[in-house]
Structure 1
């Protein structure tokens, strides 16, 4: 995929192939309207399909001045099963993007020192990794993306070619479908 085949809107850069899904996910996060985010394809993202992170050059900037990458694999492999971004259902992709935007919501109010501490704990502590992933899911659900997060979980958990070990990792680190439904119901009750 050519990185030049991208659209720019509202200080966001998005590859053409996912512009619709990115636009839908971003529309649920009005707080990110003025936050520069570049969606880009990257090879060799370990253990994931997408990954949100602050741009390295912006890491030491004030919280409100940072910009972010959402790195994505155009093709990704889970346990030897190859997936192509263009073959993933739109609602699943919106859920994945919404989850990554949840990480950016979590990052945006952290100081540089807090971000460094977050990164260290994220890669060294399974308990903290679980907290961070569940927080990103919660941000997404609280921003109206519950049905998309459920679609993403359903895609992973009900895919026959994926092992129980991988599925159990997802079940352990992320919100369950039941927890997501409960959050959605709580939001409805608040309205």
Structure 2
């Protein structure tokens, strides 16, 4: 089979190099089945490896018809370290994509005006960035991606050569590994209770 630069499945466009990881992450979000999402490599996303955002041409469309992009840095240079998508294990990429899909879940509930206001606050408020990033992590964990989010945090904080400055930013803005484990345990307890009721 001839390799393509990107594959399309159910109105999703995904670069071939990450289509398996994207497929796993998307399978945890059945609500996004009919949502158009384009994954695209991009140069120079500042301070981040991936970034989800609505399609600006459709920002004022009906929320159900709005499309989204997940931009992925071809490489991220933090101080003297250069990091690419192929440097990370598959579970880490699944976690990263799962986090970005968490942002899209959040965006789906917002009107066009609210999305614009969200963008302004995200660019100007450190506390708002923290709130948005922790919400995306929570969406991912609540959709069964807890082990992948933990793998991503572990890779960034303990296994990669990324700078301490970048690692400290992750610690400040995102859920900690301990908080994620606690969320996963809470979900497991709820599932057990639901099974007992059945």
Q: Under a length normalisation based on structure 1, what TM-score does the superposition of the two structures give?
A: 0.95
Residue 184 (structure 2) aligns with: 184
1:149-168 pair list within 5 angstroms: 149-159=149-159, 161-168=161-168
8 Å contact 2:78–2:163 — kept in the other structure? no
> What is the alpha-carbon root mean square deviation over aligned residues?
1.1
Who is 2:95 aligned against? Answer: 95
SS at match of 1:158: helix
**2:44: which partner in 1?**
44
Structure 1 residue aligned with 2:136: 136
How many angstroms apart in 2 are the aligned matches of 1:84 and 1:161?
A: 12
Unaligned runs of 5+ in 2: 192-198
2:59 matched residue in structure 1: 59
CA shift at 1:160, angstroms? 5.7
CA distance in 1, matches of 2:52, 2:127: 19
Partner of 2:173: 173
Give the number of equivalent residue pairs.
Answer: 188
Q: Distance in 2 between matches of 1:166 and 1:39?
A: 24
Give the Cα–Cα distance (whole angstroms) in 2 for the partners of residues 164 and 48 of structure 1.
Answer: 15
Rounded to whole Å, the distance in 1 between the matches of 2:161 and 2:86 is: 19
Post-superposition Cα deviations, 1:33-71, rounded to whole Å, max 9, x if no partner, equal 000000001111111010000011111112111000000
How far residue 109 of structure 1 moved from its aligned partner, in angstroms, is 1.2
1:87, distance to aligned residue in structure 2 (A): 2.2
Check if 1:72 corresponds to 2:79: no
Alpha-carbon displacement from aligned partner over 1:77-101 (angstroms, at most 9, x marks no partner) = 2222111212211000000000000
Alignment partner, residue 17 of structure 2: 17
Q: Distance in 2 between matches of 1:98 and 1:77?
A: 22
Determine whether 1:5 maps to 2:5.
yes
Cα separation, 2, equivalents of 1:50 and 1:162? 15
